[in-house]
Amino acid sequence: MRGGIARPGRHDEDLRRSGGDCRRSTVGHQGLAGSWRDAVEHGRFAAPYSRDSAMSFVDYRDVAEVAALALAGDDLVDGAFELAAGGMLTRTEIAAMISRHAGRTVLAEDVDPDVALGGMPAGAMRDGLTAMFADYTA
């Protein structure tokens, strides 16, 4: 793979500074586990972005498989790939699915990003997450 591995987010930052736009509206299936448990237990499916933002989903194991292919050979050099399952869902739609599966009402709720990031120190990670949540709400 030419160029090695870049610092996460650097290319996104460069693209934004040049006036471009970079959206990452893909959620890892594995990231839903905690939210699913909370939704079933408390009847709310909450996140720090709009419940009406549609997201696609990906299994991180599939991403790892593609990364291994990219690092092990030249077949994917200069490629650009969107790794996600087909279709997009909002948290409102996911909450309805959880409701049917759990046998109880689950509502999609928006959480203020500042509240969600309340324990995180200032810096690049917090700034990046704040920008991502804003993108997901736009």
CB crowding 100-127: b at 16 or more within 10 Å, else e: eeeeeebbbbbeebeebbeeeeeeeeee
Residue 4 pLDDT > 60, yes or no?
no
Q: Can you give the pLDDT at residue 5?
A: 35
Tell me, yes or no, whether 129 lies in a domain: yes
Tell me, yes or no, whether 93 lies in a domain: yes
Q: Give 97-130 pLDDT, tens digit per residue.
A: 999 999 999 999 999 999 999 999 999 999 988 9
Number of domains making up the chain: 1
Residues of the domain holding 75: 21-137
Q: What are phi and psi of 134, to 5 degrees?
A: -65, -40
Q: Can you give the pLDDT at residue 14?
A: 60
Residue 3 pLDDT > 60, yes or no?
no
Residue with tokens 């594995």: 30
Which of 47, 36, 59, 43 has its CA nearest to residue 137?
A: 47
Between 64 and 79, residue with greater pLDDT: 64
pTM of the model: 0.67
